[in-house]
Structure 1
């Protein structure tokens, strides 16, 4: 407690290095992309592997795109003018890979490659003079330099969030090309930093679209149920274009809503709809309303659910009623085909395994997953924890690192704040207790509340043993002050003693808040059978879960859990040649899609919890 008091005092007295207010960052992300007029640029993209970055720098280490040199820079996609013209690259003669996709799983020689790869895609389009056009990427890991018809659009840093650039003035009626320099190098000042426990898949890993919009269009909107008033829908509509002041209508036919609004000189309108009694979204009733927003120049549709989420004492309240979060963690990875899981079909496969486990909740670790994952979970009635990759130890005092984390947080929230199933924004995972880290993460939490006050804030914390009491474990992290839900990772019986140790543990939670165990688990190689004390066996993993669940079931303050993890996933950290072979084997489903014994132990536990309601 003395450490807690000191750290809180330091935070109170310290100046706010990472100052930010609600309007200090303009977020130009176009939302609800899948319901817009799209030209898909997915498919085969030519690529050039460039470990020395010869296509980006000249021999003086000057970027070609900054000095205006089109002869050496790959971005220009230059062709020889005649037989005397020397050009030392050629995209058309280079191999191609499927986008979206990662190079690690598609090209065997690039399985462990970290560095620069250039991508190029040609496409034809019939340009309309009264339309605007935006180039949209679902995600590129990790740093992307984007060029359109030889002109640089900009740079995006962060491997798991979407971004877009306007290309209206650059788009040609007919043939066009896009070049992207992708660098997945791990960085000490990055988010995440160099040390992670998942595969560093490089490439353009999610959809690429050319979005066609009207001259003034609906760029963003937010429609959410007021947590304190079940009959009030609140939010905003934001236009983008020259005609800012417009009359508009929001139609929700199933609720008999025909709401009129008017945007101001900045194209913004505050929305307050007296809705009456609504059909509330829940895991048992994942009802989505058909929303239609019309203005004088645009129409946008979506399916949106309405629900409330709050905490009261140590309870989590969904639509005003206590809920136990029967969850599981998962990575954005398809074990059956190798590589990132980027499609709706892959999301359905992974989430079906969670539903069969009788989950009502999933933790999307340790980064924002693709939009299909979130929307599919919403349709299936699965609550969601979303997280940014502030993972383990990053550079807490580095201003650019903080801005990077903030940008990823903002892009995640702006993309998904209309999804009813998202109930928790997480600020990070297993981070150390220091005043710099608390200042860093508390500012992220503050910004999350500014952008979206309708959800709960959490982070996956670590536990500590109480001094002189080896079997008493504490959750006393000062960051807990800034969180709505106290979450922590613990591996008692795997990294910490044997499974029988669980029966000896006493817990002390330093806050009168609901507790969710964000991780616990043990590794097992599917098909390896032995007695319950032989590590790596299915029997040992099942026994671990049995003892863990006995311990967890006795803790009344625990209101949910997401064991680690649904499916085995690839990780260079896991190097045992027999039991791991570059796989983290803590999955309840194997790398070949077979359910392990522990899967059924957890399912039985969840079935009993559900039946007690």
Structure 2
């Protein structure tokens, strides 16, 4: 794989995109902004190649930029006139969209732009969306090419038959997002933001792009390592496969071929890798992959990817307590609760530098793990975690809430399961499977978390068992701090503000013991808060010195729990988010409250404790 494509600022192609209008775009006013907001240029917004796990260097076109938009009553015909311009890929409620307006369940958001299509008679044209929240119907030249429901996973449509020419093809997108009036996964979004609940995110919030592919092409790959066997299995999905086609897979280490296999299209390729270099924090070694579709001596399609040899498991220690292992070693996992929100872009980072910033700072602070909380990030975020060696616990975004939860610190949380409608259940199942499929290849993800604090939790044993069976290459944290059932591999307590742990005598022989949330120490910083007053934290302080002292005390307490059986902990949280001021950094990322130097030093005791 060409490292320049993925490690640099991204692939900047000559754009044939036709802007809706030239217009004088500027961010909507009213809230604090990050410093990266000043660098946002409608002619050059999020231009990086958006799919690092399946790369075709040529024949793609980024459609981000100024589009037209209209908000109108739900169910009305496609609009003939529009309200103005919106900067894609920023949600309409965000400042960086240039709009800053709410939509709601009674209305729909419409987009319109035009684009050029470069294609030959032997090519198909795919239209890709990184993510659209929540229901999106896509029209090309007036023809509906598909509907997608789900706010967090990428999707695409083959639009070849709807194209009318090489230039000035019309693209219209209809979006409906009921926010918390609907049962769909939505994470922390709510129509009346307050406390731990934040501004709604409606519409396109990740990159939109087209891609030219051959008639027969590689649509997807699934890379699964087996460290014990020394193998990497690469499964490929071939669209429009023809008789006689084969798939060739090569793995490279430092530019040298270390394994290769050639199999019939649709069959898994099992690569045997001698003396594999293992991926883990401190040594994030990635194997480059070339995956080609061939017929005879002719290459039909070729893609680049990468994979890692990495094992996640659990095992009883000398005291009979389950430990979470990476590559058969116990590494105490400690990281922040990371919600991935931005004051100017909401779900969308202003640019690639901003997207990377939180991960880099987290690592500089001495954390080795991030819990991605009830949100899913763009693929490039996970790619950066892969190459930097950052462990990730991935939550399923919550939705359809309302059931009760009664935490009992140190023992267990009990409550009720949500009685969801069949439609609500199916929406959850579809999107959870889609997320697990689309992000399977990122080795940084080592834990799946289907439920958080009983938020919409339903049929727990069934959902958790399905998750474990569907991806046995990772561990499953069935209900983080929630409504606990004897299922899954991780027992996860939430306790504020003090660090605490469940009693291993109840769970130690069957489940890994973790502290899924604690801390929440708040420090509002004047001039860097979402609102001027009434900001909130689990325990608030007035000075950095007091905050440091309290945090250091907590780390001493946390270290004492590790020899007793604690395998991991998650501190709330990476940054302030809206009225929450319990971040290690302010919401605008302009003030780091607890310096990386202080945090890294105070965290050393956690990794030394056994």
Are 2:365 and 2:595, in contact at CA under 8 Å, matched by a contact in 1? no
Q: 1:365 aligns with which of 361, 370, 373?
A: 373
Query: What secondary structure is seen at the aligned counterpart in 1 of 2:384?
Result: helix
Aligned position for 2:67: 45
- Do the aligned partners of residues 48 and 449 (structure 1) sit closer, same or farther apart at CA in structure 2, a change above 3 Å counting? same
Are 1:386 and 1:424, in contact at CA under 8 Å, matched by a contact in 2? yes
Q: 1:137 aligns with which of 115, 129, 139?
A: 129
Aligned: 1:308 with 2:308: no
Aligned-partner Cα distance in 1 for 2:85–2:472: 44
Q: What does 1:584-595 align with in structure 2 at a 5 Å threshold?
A: 584-593=580-589, 594-595=591-592
Query: What secondary structure is seen at the aligned counterpart in 1 of 2:466?
Result: helix
Aligned: 1:178 with 2:171: yes
Aligned: 1:96 with 2:85: yes
Aligned-partner Cα distance in 2 for 1:135–1:233: 30
Structure with higher Rg: it is 1
How many residues align? The count is 506
Aligned position for 1:20: none
Query: What secondary structure is seen at the aligned counterpart in 1 of 2:152?
Result: coil
Q: 2:301 aligns with which of 298, 301, 304?
A: 298
- Do the aligned partners of residues 109 and 171 (structure 1) sit closer, same or farther apart at CA in structure 2, a change above 3 Å counting? closer
Aligned-partner Cα distance in 2 for 1:137–1:244: 31
Are 1:538 and 1:598, in contact at CA under 8 Å, matched by a contact in 2? no
Query: What secondary structure is seen at the aligned counterpart in 2 of 1:277?
Result: coil
TM-score (norm 2): 0.76
Aligned: 1:563 with 2:571: yes
Aligned position for 1:426: 449
Query: What secondary structure is seen at the aligned counterpart in 2 of 1:358?
Result: coil
Aligned: 1:524 with 2:522: yes
Aligned position for 1:499: none
Cα root mean square deviation, aligned = 3.0
Aligned position for 1:472: none
Q: What does 1:267-282 align with in structure 2 at a 5 Å threshold?
A: 267-282=265-280
- Do the aligned partners of residues 384 and 32 (structure 1) sit closer, same or farther apart at CA in structure 2, a change above 3 Å counting? same
Aligned-partner Cα distance in 1 for 2:539–2:604: 28
Aligned position for 1:110: 100
Query: What secondary structure is seen at the aligned counterpart in 1 of 2:523?
Result: coil
Aligned-partner Cα distance in 1 for 2:219–2:467: 20
- Do the aligned partners of residues 567 and 111 (structure 1) sit closer, same or farther apart at CA in structure 2, a change above 3 Å counting? farther
Give 5+ residue unaligned stretches, structure 2.
Answer: 1-50, 191-195, 295-299, 317-321, 404-417, 527-536
Aligned position for 1:262: 263
Q: What does 1:543-582 align with in structure 2 at a 5 Å threshold?
A: 544-555=550-561, 556-570=564-578
Query: What secondary structure is seen at the aligned counterpart in 2 of 1:102?
Result: coil
Range with greater deviation from structure 2 (321-330 or 595-604): 595-604
TM-score (norm 1): 0.76
Are 2:522 and 2:539, in contact at CA under 8 Å, matched by a contact in 1? no
Q: What does 1:428-447 align with in structure 2 at a 5 Å threshold?
A: 428-431=451-454, 437=457, 439=459, 441-447=460-466
Are 1:332 and 1:342, in contact at CA under 8 Å, matched by a contact in 2? no
Range with greater deviation from structure 2 (559-568 or 102-111): 102-111
Give 5+ residue unaligned stretches, structure 1.
Answer: 1-29, 58-71, 75-88, 464-476, 494-501, 571-582
Aligned position for 1:510: 506
Q: What does 1:398-409 align with in structure 2 at a 5 Å threshold?
A: 398-409=421-432
- Do the aligned partners of residues 47 and 315 (structure 1) sit closer, same or farther apart at CA in structure 2, a change above 3 Å counting? same
Q: What does 1:127-206 align with in structure 2 at a 5 Å threshold?
A: 127-174=119-166, 175-186=168-179, 187-192=181-186, 197-206=197-206
> What does the per-residue CA deviation read over 1:408-462, in whole Å, with 9 as the maximum and x for residues that have no partner?
2122122221111110111021116xxx9452x3333333334422111114533
- Do the aligned partners of residues 590 and 293 (structure 1) sit closer, same or farther apart at CA in structure 2, a change above 3 Å counting? same
Aligned-partner Cα distance in 1 for 2:61–2:102: 32
Q: 1:347, CA displacement in angstroms?
A: 1.9
Aligned position for 2:414: none
Q: What does 1:336-351 align with in structure 2 at a 5 Å threshold?
A: 340-341=348-349, 343-351=351-359
Aligned position for 1:456: 475
> What does the per-residue CA deviation read over 1:275-300, in whole Å, with 9 as the maximum and x for residues that have no partner?
21111111111111110012212111
Range with greater deviation from structure 2 (448-457 or 41-50): 448-457
Q: 1:315, CA displacement in angstroms?
A: 1.2
Q: 1:46, CA displacement in angstroms?
A: 0.6
- Do the aligned partners of residues 337 and 237 (structure 1) sit closer, same or farther apart at CA in structure 2, a change above 3 Å counting? closer
